[in-house]
Amino acid sequence: MSTLNSNSPLALYLNGEWKNPGPPLEVTNPSTGEVIGSVSTVDRAGTRQAIADAESAWEVWKGLTGKERGTYLHAIAAGIEKRGDEIARAISLENGKPLAQAKGEVGMTLDHFQWFAEEAKRSYGRVVPNQLDGKRHLAIRQPIGVVGAIAPWNFPLVLAVRKVAPALAAGCPVLLKPASATPLCAVLLAEAIHEANLPKGVFQLLVGSAREIGPELMENPACRKITFTGSTEVGRELIRQSADQVKELSMELGGHAPFIIFDDADLDKAVEGALITKFRNTGQSCIASNRIYAQRGIYERFLDAFVEKAQALKVGDGMEDGVDIGPLIDEAAADTARQHIDAAVQSGARLLCGGKSPEGCGPNFLEATVLADVPEDTLCMTEETFAPVAPVSVFDDEDEAIRRANATEYGLAAYVFTENVNRAWRVAEALEAGTIGVNDSVPSTSQCPFGGMKHSGLGRELGTEGLDAFLETKHISFAQIS
Ligand code: NAP
């Protein structure tokens, strides 16, 4: 029987064993409101024990070669691939996203494991030229220690793995705390890790209240690093909490990506790019385009084509064939989106399509919504909407586009559509964001660094930087070598 069909609460993976330490947490399908399963939980004392077990496991894990750890990571990837359909189903059921997009998430997860399996062999140091006769200097890199990884619900598998895979590759034991809305795919990930026979305690799964697990991860000195993906609000709180322990942090926080279309853009490419960046994952993506700026010469043509395509997107249960837009994660998220739409309309924006739940769908659903002539100071232009709502605004010249795009506390991603290569370089270099897509609506990839500037975060995931995040640099100085 597959794990997902179990009638009893799913167990947590703690110190190499499956355990049921605390009361189950129910998991709900956001499409139907049905309870689809439950997972056991751990409290603060259980978290403390898991940290102690991880610390014991560290000796063994850091003693392996990078190649040996890489072999384990390849085995985990093989296990995920074998159960790819079941894992994608779990993601779609608990998060609501269309099944095809959940399968895409599983594919990217595999790629991340495979990338870091190879990177495990490459935690290079340096030989540094000496200034004094006889001295020799080395900078070596060593695993930082026990890692607490806190993940969000919007890409519940792949964003957890952006932490788990490099931490394991670097030689660090990891405690994964998934979002309470989406723990099922984390249990399946834990099963793949268990089947790959990692030493006990190297990977553990902590499901439960953030108020129980979070403070123990933050305050326990044996947990050396926190890697967090989630809202800027919670990120700020964790940064404050880290001060007493001077705890190492990586923070992947909120975004408010501008999507800039110049008059010289290829209209079809720009429309396709705006559709993908805005409506993929039902708009619940940290790199979703939140503000679409189109230059005056292309503005109305862009709106006509974009609205036509947005209206054709099928909204429904993520498990139904052909669905493009699933439900929002919960009713509160749908209410926020409706407030943003109402505020924009009240401040003079034109509602060109959407703005309501499709007939027959529940309150968590929202049609693809396009707003035009949206004033710069309305909610959807300043706060993350995290929904299929596309505010569009007109601009006149390049300087204005850059100034308005950068006028936000966020700096995660930005998109530029132009066929002028000189303009593409100028604008890409001027935008304040960690990732710039030039005529590219899907810029993230395992090999390249991902992360935010300004209030969008600290540090980078993926690429070679993804492994760096779990390594400390140590200088070794040799004197009197003759
Ligand atoms: P969230 O509310 O900040 O929660 C994220 C994770 O933090 C969850 O596991 C949550 O646990 C946990 N958490 C909440 N409060 C905590 C606390 N006080 N101490 C320790 N852990 C705590 O964010 P979300 O709503 O899940 O995710 C959406 C946000 O994430 C958006 O702002 C989005 O832009 C951002 N995001 C950023 C990136 C990126 O790479 N930069 C990627 C995806 C999403 P519970 O679920 O148990 O509350």
Question: Mutate which of 27, 39, 43, 150 to test ligand 1's pocket (most atoms within 8 Å of Cβ)?
Answer: 150
Shortest-distance atom of ligand 1 to CA 255: 34
Does 283 contact ligand 1 (Cβ within 6 A)? no
Residue 34 annotated among the catalytic residues of the structure: no
On the question of pLDDT at 97 being above 60, the answer is yes
Catalytic position from the list 191, 216, 252, 367: 252
Task: Report the 10 Å Cβ neighbour count for 450.
Answer: 23
Rounded (5°) CA angle 435-455-289: 45
Residue 361 annotated among the catalytic residues of the structure: no
Does 154 contact ligand 1 (Cβ within 6 A)? yes
On the question of pLDDT at 1 being above 70, the answer is no
* Full-model pTM: 0.98
Continuous segment of H or E residues that includes residue 294: strand 289-295
Does 234 contact ligand 1 (Cβ within 6 A)? yes
Least confident among 125-129, 183-187, 433-437, 478-482: 478-482
Shortest-distance atom of ligand 1 to CA 457: 41
Q: What is the pLDDT of residues 35-71, one digit of tens each?
A: 999 999 999 999 999 999 999 999 999 999 999 999 9
Q: Give the span between the Cα atoms of 44 and 400, in whole angstroms.
A: 51
Residues 6 or more apart whose Cβ sits within 8 Å of residue 300? none
Residue 126, CB half-sphere, CA atoms under 13 Å: how many? 7
Domains, the chain, ordered by start: 12-253+456-476 (3.40.605.10), 257-445 (3.40.309.10)
Q: What is the pLDDT of residues 465-479, one digit of tens each?
A: 999 999 999 999 999
- Can you tell me the mean pLDDT for 103-131? 97
User: Which residue's CA is minimally distant from atom 12 of ligand 1?
Assistant: 210
Does 253 contact ligand 1 (Cβ within 6 A)? yes
**Three-state secondary-structure class, residue 292:** strand
